[in-house]
Amino acid sequence: MTVTTDSRTDAFVLGVSGWGVLSPFGLGADEFTAGLRTGRDGTVDATALTEEPVPDPRAYGLVGFRARDHLGRKGTSFLDRRTAFAVLACGQALADSDLVVDDGNRDRVGVVLGTSVGSLQSTSDYSRDTLVQEKPYLVNPILFPNTVLNCAAGQAAIWHQLRGVNTTLAGGGMATLAALRYATTVLRRGRAEALLVGAVDEYTPQLAWAQHATAAPTTVGGEGGAVFLVEDAAAMRAAGREPVAEILAVDLGHTGGRTDLAAALADRVRRVLDQADVGPQDLATVVTSGAATEEQALDEVVGPDADRVAITDLAGNCPTAAGALQVAAVLAHQRGAPEHDGCLSLIVASTADGSVGAAVLKGTGRAARDHR
Helices (H), 55-198: 67-71, 81-96, 120-132, 151-160, 175-188
CA-CA distance, 334 to 329, in Å (whole number)?
9
Which residues 73-92 are close enough to bind other proteins by CB under 8 A?
Answer: none
Q: How far is the CB of 309 from other proteins (least distance, A)?
A: 24
- Of 31, 56, 147, 280, the residue at the interface with other proteins (CB under 8 A) is 147
In terms of C-beta distances under 8 Å and separation of at least 24 residues, what long-range contacts does 75-78 make, across chains too? 75/159, 78/142, 78/143, 78/146
- Residue 5 in contact with other proteins, rule: CB under 8 A: yes
**Residue 29 vs 153, nearer CB to other proteins:** 153
Which residues 181-210 are close enough to bind other proteins by CB under 8 A?
Answer: 181-182, 185-186, 188-189, 191, 205-206, 209-210
- Residue 353 in contact with other proteins, rule: CB under 8 A: yes
CA-CA distance, 315 to 324, in Å (whole number)?
10
- Residue 219 in contact with other proteins, rule: CB under 8 A: no
Of 174, 201, 52, which is closest to residue 119 (Cα–Cα)?
201
- Residue 153 in contact with other proteins, rule: CB under 8 A: yes
- Of 8, 40, 128, 237, the residue at the interface with other proteins (CB under 8 A) is 128
**Residue 315 vs 343, nearer CB to other proteins:** 315
- Residue 257 in contact with other proteins, rule: CB under 8 A: yes
CA-CA distance, 239 to 262, in Å (whole number)?
42
- Of 35, 42, 91, 118, the residue at the interface with other proteins (CB under 8 A) is 118
Per the CB < 8 A criterion, the answer to whether 194 and 148 are in contact is no
DSSP assigned state of 47: G
- Residue 212 in contact with other proteins, rule: CB under 8 A: yes
- Residue 39 in contact with other proteins, rule: CB under 8 A: no
What are the respective helix, strand and coil percentages of the chain, to the nearest 5? 40, 25, 35
**Residue 26 vs 91, nearer CB to other proteins:** 91
